[in-house]
Amino acid sequence: MVNRLAGGRHASLRVATRGSALARAQADAVATWLGTTADVRVEPVVVETAGDRRLDAQIWELGARGVFVKEVEAAVLDGRADFAVHSAKDLPSSDEVPELVIAAFPRRGDPRDALVGSTLEGLPVGGLVGTGSVRRRSQLAWHRPDLTFGGLRGNIDSRLEKLAGFDAIVVAAAALRRLGRVPDRCEVLEPTTMVPQVGQGALAVQCRADDDATRQLLAGIDDRATRSAVETERAWLREIGGGCDRPVGAHATIDGHGRISLVAVLATGDGRIVLRHSDSGSDPTELGRRSARFLLDRAGGATLIEELAPA
């Protein structure tokens, strides 16, 4: 429930967030924006998720979608919190909770991936790269078939600590920036080299669909261009199907006239086959679906997905 001051001005809201340093930094950023736009004080409600508890398994091995969001959503649904802040890439693109709504996509951070410890060209032959993402593995293997890979999980600082066991590791550039981490050796990979994960670099601020007061406040930090881009990517992923367990990625950008450009990738886990497609349009849902159908129906993606399906 939203607490109010006399005269109707909002005094405080409670935000559900994971407890990692990155999640807290993201929630704090949203709190700062709300304080600036609506004079709102935000109190954290820290929630542990299944993904936080299962650090022994790689993301794609956890199976269930939304392993970083279900418990956070539950805190909003049962009234412990008024809204939640998620990394948009963690939110499933399908099976959305009807009682909840993404009330704001604040201005997007850096959507790109960062190779820490070396440049892509500078990696030695047969170099070992740490990543828990099949999307990252497949695209790196496409560019460098000689590379080998090892699993990597944990928060950003623990991943950076594990760099000594690899020639390089891959993390989200936005995570480094939000935590103020500046590695000595780091190459930010352009989407032409590594298509990002759907929603990467963006935050999704979620609240109850029937909470009009909170929705109105959160609307003040919604960024139209970010919403159009992320909704395009999510529409693409919804049509493709899958998530962190598949080597897929999509990245949308918006020009000054509101036109959307989308680049998407569907690959095999070993990088032997990488299907890319670029398209543009004005409607996020239509563009996302059209691009996905091209890859599935005309580029052989449907057969590729059948081959990727577990036996």
Long-range CB contact pairs, 252-255, < 8 A, 24+: 252/228, 252/284, 252/287, 253/229, 254/225, 254/228, 254/229
Tens digits of per-residue pLDDT, 57-116? 444 444 445 667 999 999 999 999 999 999 999 998 877 899 999 999 999 999 999 999
Residue 90 is among the residues annotated as catalytic for this protein: yes
CATH number at 231-308: 3.30.160.40
Strand partners, 168: 129
The mean pLDDT of 24-39, rounded to a whole number, is: 96
Q: Quick one: pLDDT at residue 154?
A: 87
- Enumerate the CATH 3.30.160.40 domain ranges in the chain, comma separated: 231-308
Q: What is the pTM of this model?
A: 0.90
Residue-wise pLDDT for 142-193, tens only, equals: 999 999 999 998 889 999 999 999 999 999 999 999 999 999 899 999 999 9
Q: How confident is the model at residue 305 (pLDDT cuts 50, 70, 90)?
A: confident
Sign of CA dihedral 36, 37, 40, 42: negative
Q: For residue range 204-257, what is the model confidence (pLDDT) as tens digits? A: 999 999 999 999 999 999 999 999 999 999 999 999 986 557 899 999 999 999
Please identify which of the residues 90, 211, 245, 279 carries the catalytic annotation: 90
Q: Which of 110, 108, 112, 154 is nearest to 130 (CA)?
A: 154
- Which has more confidence, 306 or 84? 84
Instruction: List every span in the chain annotated with CATH 3.40.190.10.
Output: 3-105+203-222, 113-189
Residue 4 has what pLDDT? 45
| pLDDT score recorded for residue 65 | 52
The whole-angstrom separation of Cα 291 and Cα 240 is: 9
Domain 3-105+203-222 homologous superfamily, CATH:
Periplasmic binding protein-like II (3.40.190.10)
CATH match for 113-189 among 3.40.190.10, 2.40.110.10, 3.30.70.1060, 2.40.30.10:
3.40.190.10
Q: Is the Cα torsion angle 296, 297, 303, 309 positive or negative in sign? A: positive
Q: Compute the distance between CA of residue 17 and CA of residue 90 in angstroms, rounded to an integer.
A: 13
Answer for the pair 47, 18: CB distance below 8 angstroms, yes or no: yes
